Amino acid sequence: MPFSDYRKALVTGASSGIGAAVVERLCREGLEVHALARSANALEELARRTGCIAHALDVTDLAGVTQLAKEVEFDILVNNAGVDRPKSFLKADAEDIDLIVDVNLRAALHLCRLIVPGMAARDRGHIVNISSIAGAYNFGGNSSYHATKAGISMLSSQLRIDVFGRRVRVTEICPGRVATDIFAHVHGASKETYERFIEGYELPEAKDIADAIAFAIAAPIAVNVGYMEITPTLQVPGGLSTAKGAASAAEPSR
């Protein structure tokens, strides 16, 4: 459905990175964009720059997001909020698991529960779920994060079935490495973090993801762009590794 048929959008995790870029992009299309994140100062600056409506709210605050969903009829929902605590699952903490599940998966489930029925009743709406290549491919150190992003991917597929017969579209955006400050949030804002994840790499930027989302939303009503995997040209997910057993690896070579 063209942008002209939509009026109001909600973007979570909107204070920086992909979320902020999506807010900027949707505001340029003339939508009333509600930007939700915990960082009040960053949201205030974003609102001054774009004209969005700021909601300094934790996406896991169920009472808060429930009230917001009651007050505003959203035509577009962008589930972007996400956190990570990268470590081997052999060293996983209970608190880390709860946080990752609450922010990455449970919040998106509740927002869809609160907003999608209204879209279906009005026969108009678009849900954009930001997953990750971590939900589709295996690589080490992020098991809880992988599990939640795989959940977002399956949620996106299931929603298409649940809204069958209604003009409610669902798009899953599956990014690889993107040049955002997420790495600083996860690993600390240091020169080492920048060199490890950003410096010297040819990476998509947050605005590139926002433009991809805009492309999906702007498609004709008869078109549902269901899935986009967006990675750097010089990045490939997956791979094949083979290890010896722990006992064999511990034996000295002869």
**Buried b vs exposed e over 42-76: b needs ≥16 C-beta within 10 Å?**
bbeebbeebebbbbbbebbeeeebeebbeebebbb
Give mean pLDDT, residues 123-139. Answer: 95
pLDDT digits (tens, 9 = 90+) for 152-198: 999 999 999 999 999 999 999 999 999 886 655 555 556 675 566 66
**Among the options 145, 194, 201, 227, which is catalytic?**
145
pLDDT at 174: 97
CATH of the domain at 230: 3.40.50.720
With cut-offs at 50, 70 and 90, classify the pLDDT of residue 200.
confident
> Given this model, what pLDDT does residue 189 score?
55
| pLDDT for the residue 248 | 57
pLDDT for residue 240: 66
- Can 145 be counted among the known catalytic residues? yes
| Amino acid found at 181 | D
State which amino acid sits at residue 131: S
How many residues belong to the chain?
254
Q: Which tens digits make up the pLDDT trace of 235-244? A: 888 776 767 8
Give the tens place of pLDDT for each residue, 35-70: 999 999 999 999 999 999 999 999 999 999 999 999
Strand-by-strand arrangement of the 8-12 sheet: 53-56, 32-37, 8-12, 76-79, 125-130, 168-175, 227-230
**How many folded domains does the chain comprise?**
1
Q: How far apart are CA 75 and CA 127, in angstroms?
A: 8
Quote the domain boundaries for residue 98. 3-250
Let me know if 111 is exposed, middle or buried by CB neighbors in 10 A (0-12, 13-18, 19+): buried
- Residue that wins the pLDDT comparison between 112 and 191: 112
